[in-house]
């Protein structure tokens, strides 16, 4: 695992991004870990990532369901998005 300061990361962005394919990178700010950079798998699903990491989206889901006395956990939302994505891909394959 490589460790770089924020200043060094900004000055050598291209080099850092090329090295991420070989090893994860931790970026420090004022000597403390601030962010991590990891390579993504070829089958990485951006939509699932965004949904599972969006507090605002979770709040919107839960506001809508509050009237029904229900709440979704983060896992339930991710599962629902993955299922919808699978159905959409299946429909596209049939149409092609």
Q: Are residues 83 and 54 in the same domain?
A: yes
pLDDT at 94 over 80: no
Distance (Å, rounded) from C-alpha 52 to C-alpha 2?
A: 27
More confidently predicted of 96 and 22: 22
**Total count of domains within the chain:** 2
pTM: 0.54
Segment (H or E) for 45: none
Q: At what angle do helices 74-95 and 55-66 cross, to 10 degrees?
A: 100
Strand 32-37 to strand 2-5: parallel, antiparallel, or no bridges (unpaired)? Answer: unpaired
* 50 and 91 part of one domain: yes
Please say if the pLDDT value at position 13 is more than 90. yes
Domain that holds residue 65: 46-95
Q: What is the C-alpha to C-alpha distance for residues 3 and 33, in angstroms, rounded to an integer?
A: 9
pLDDT digits (tens, 9 = 90+) for 36-68: 998 888 888 887 787 777 888 777 777 777 777
Task: Report the pLDDT value the prediction gives residue 32, as an integer from 0 to 100.
Answer: 95
Strand arrangement of the beta sheet that strand 2-5 belongs to: 2-5, 25-29, 32-37
């Amino acid at each position: 695992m490589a460790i770089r300061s924020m200043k060094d990361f900004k000055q050598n962005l291209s080099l850092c991004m090329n090295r991420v394919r070989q090893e994860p990178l931790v970026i420090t700010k004022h000597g403390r870990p601030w962010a991590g950079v990891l390579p993504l798998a070829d089958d990485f699903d951006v939509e699932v990532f965004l949904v599972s990491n969006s507090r605002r989206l979770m709040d919107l889901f839960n506001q809508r369901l509050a009237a029904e006395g229900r709440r979704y956990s983060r896992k339930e939302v991710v599962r629902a998005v993955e299922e919808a994505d699978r159905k959409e891909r299946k429909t596209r394959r049939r149409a092609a």
